[in-house]
Chain A
Amino acid sequence: MVKQINVFSENRPGKLEQITGVLAAANVNIIAVKISSDEEYGVLKFLVDDPEKGFRAFKQAGVTVSLKDVLAVGVENKPGNLHHMLRILKKDNIDVEDCYGFVVDSEKKAIVILEVDNPAAARKILEQHKYRLIGSSELYSL
């Protein structure tokens, strides 16, 4: 399973920079970033090349952080694909907490990151529907 680093942050000027600074200092490379925010505070989500190392660096810096299992799904970069996948999950009552994607491989392929309430079940369902789940070694070497 792919690991994502979730960081709690107050919504104040300079906070994001402070947090990315921790990863930079630890020489951890960011593959993708997503911000789920509220007016006062938010959760920053980082997909990085070495999640354990990034997690340790945050802990040491006194940042409130957790490691989360997420699904990375490879899809063709064309209209309707994300929608199709979400419908399959909904049919099986998988609750998608958060979702983001990015394009790789000269825009032909995309990777969708799914944060769901039951990652193991969601993985099974997607595999049954012939989706390609991307493993950590492949993802982290992007």
Chain B
Amino acid sequence: MTFWDKHAETLPRDKLEVLQVKRLKDTVARCRKSIFYRKRLKDVDESRFSKPEDVSLLPFTTKNDLRINYDFGLVTVPRDEIVRMHSSSGTTGKATVIFHSRTDIETWSDLVARCIVMTGANKADVFQNIISYGMFTGGLGLHYGAEKVGMLTIPSGVGNTKRQIQLMRDFNTTVFHATPSYILYVSEVMVQEGFDPKEFDLRIGFVGAEPHSEQTRQRIEDIYDISAFNSYGMSELNGPGVAFECEEKNGMHLWEDQYLLEVVDPDNGEVLAPGEEGELVITTLGREAMPILRYRTGDLARIVDDGKKCSCSRTHVRISRIKGRCDDMLIVRGVNLYPSQIEDVLMSFPEVATTYQIILEREGSLDSLTVRVELYPKMFDGDLRKLKKLESDILKSIQDEIVVRPRIEFQEPGSLPRSEGKAVRVVDMRGEM
């Protein structure tokens, strides 16, 4: 087992918590230097904080706070100390901006390096960063971490799929970073071009920026014959490097020396017990230029609370796969459901290709849910009855999972739109009632 920073990654819990309290106090004090927090923290006395849970005495920070305080409202350092700006990928709503000092970039790169080494990747690897660069944090975040580890880093970005494949062949890429939807698309193009995805030198994949199911991960692993690791992060909290899977793959370790985690009820903000599913709320503990307190991430997950220490010997808490964003939740005929539930079902059918789409429409006063599914060409044997049976099997499995009865539409492979960044999986055409 190798580590990037063994001391920090395996710090005993009691010491980790002492460190958290100290850093929390420092962070609150630092926050007072920003226009936004100065007012907000008037009635807070952080000197009385004695345990990490005391963070709940602080007010939440929401995405809307960041928007209202656009541009420098949360910054705590002089303008000339800032070396980098990033912007949220704007998954939902208007973009927000985040600033970093030189130290922040160093710390962030170190966290990403921890993640990379945790998966078994090392400086001998050739790393192809198949993800957007620019203001989106996924590109530069992994890039800096990978260089820090010492990997040969190919900043290939997204798009031009044939060239991506050419690069993998020419430079014997062993590790990639990509969104699940795009890397699955790359495998389709490989096959079209006459290559077997298993024959490349790839051995490890970092998969992130889109919530995806365990089934999707397994599919990526099978198609490429690699080990794929789930990654969690968001630009407000630097970007990638917040939490990552170790080789155990039983949840993602969240770096608690830099992030203080709470899981709250998304409706009333109350802190939930370990193991309960809720919204992740995260406080930065080391950020200089733009610290954020109790950030409402909007991401739904739970703490992996199996009462056991992870066999990798890292002491940092593990979080489950992200089930979705609070605002991903769909209400269809009065039933709450998440697209990830449908994805889980689809990916368990080998006849189904890697791309799908969920269409919501209103027929009269009733919602209709259509799942467009692409067929996997190799599994087609020309029998219409088998297709009808497959259709009814998928329909039944989805209905068992989400209660709502969907309509299934089979599509020819390649007919659904492909995305290079975040995939558009849900098309809601219901409008307002």
For this complex, 13 residue pairs linking A to B, each with C-beta atoms less than 8 Å apart, are A6-B383, A8-B382, A8-B412, A10-B411, A10-B415, A43-B387, A62-B192, A64-B375, A64-B380, A65-B380, A67-B382, A97-B383, A98-B384
With A8-B375, A62-B192 known as contacts, the answer to whether A36 contacts B384 (CB < 8 A) is yes
Interface centre among B381, B383, B384, B387 (most CB of A within 10 A): B384
**Do the beta carbons of B382 and A6 come within 8 Å of each other?**
yes
Per-position binary interface string of chain A over residues 63-102, scored 1 when its CB falls under 8 Å from any chain B CB and 0 otherwise = 1111110000000000000000000000000000110000
**Which B residues lie within 8 Å of A10 (CB)?**
410-412, 415
Shortest Cβ gap from B417 to chain A (Å): 15
Chain B 398-421 residues near chain A, CB threshold 8 A: 409-415
Q: Which of B382, B409, B412 is close to A66, meaning CB atoms less than 8 Å apart?
A: B382
A136 within 8 A of B: no
A131 within 8 A of B: no
Shortest Cβ gap from A141 to chain B (Å): 24
Shortest Cβ gap from A94 to chain B (Å): 15
For chain B, which range describes its interface: under 10, 10 to 19, 20 to 34, or 35 or more residues?
10 to 19
Q: Which of A9, A36, A40, A64 is close to B377, meaning CB atoms less than 8 Å apart?
A: A64
Chain B 348-385 residues near chain A, CB threshold 8 A: 375, 377, 380-385
C-alpha gap A45/B192 in the complex (Å): 24
B388 within 8 A of A: yes
Shortest Cβ gap from A7 to chain B (Å): 8
**Do the beta carbons of B413 and A41 come within 8 Å of each other?**
no
C-alpha gap A8/B413 in the complex (Å): 10
Q: Who on chain A is nearest to B383 by CB?
A: A97
Shortest Cβ gap from B395 to chain A (Å): 13
C-alpha gap A41/B384 in the complex (Å): 9
C-alpha gap A6/B375 in the complex (Å): 14
**Which A residues lie within 8 Å of B377 (CB)?**
64-65
A138 within 8 A of B: no
C-alpha gap A68/B410 in the complex (Å): 21
Shortest Cβ gap from A64 to chain B (Å): 5
**Do the beta carbons of A41 and B380 come within 8 Å of each other?**
no
With A62-B192, A64-B375, A64-B377 known as contacts, the answer to whether A43 contacts B412 (CB < 8 A) is no
**Do the beta carbons of B380 and A8 come within 8 Å of each other?**
yes
**Which B residues lie within 8 Å of A45 (CB)?**
382
C-alpha gap A65/B410 in the complex (Å): 14
C-alpha gap A66/B385 in the complex (Å): 15
Q: Who on chain B is nearest to A15 by CB?
A: B412
A119 within 8 A of B: no
C-alpha gap A43/B412 in the complex (Å): 12
Q: Who on chain B is nearest to A37 by CB?
A: B384
Q: Who on chain B is nearest to A66 by CB?
A: B382
Q: Which of A38, A43, A64, A67 is close to B383, meaning CB atoms less than 8 Å apart?
A: A43
Interface centre among B382, B384, B385, B410 (most CB of A within 10 A): B382
**Which A residues lie within 8 Å of B382 (CB)?**
4, 6-8, 43, 45, 65-68
**Do the beta carbons of A68 and B381 come within 8 Å of each other?**
yes
With A6-B382, A8-B380 known as contacts, the answer to whether A63 contacts B412 (CB < 8 A) is yes
C-alpha gap A113/B136 in the complex (Å): 58
Shortest Cβ gap from B281 to chain A (Å): 44
C-alpha gap A66/B380 in the complex (Å): 7
With A8-B375, A64-B375 known as contacts, the answer to whether A38 contacts B412 (CB < 8 A) is no
**Which A residues lie within 8 Å of B380 (CB)?**
6, 8, 64-66
Q: Return the 9 tightest CB-CB contacts between A and B, nearest first.
A: A6-B382, A66-B382, A43-B384, A36-B384, A64-B377, A68-B382, A64-B380, A41-B410, A66-B381
Shortest Cβ gap from A127 to chain B (Å): 25
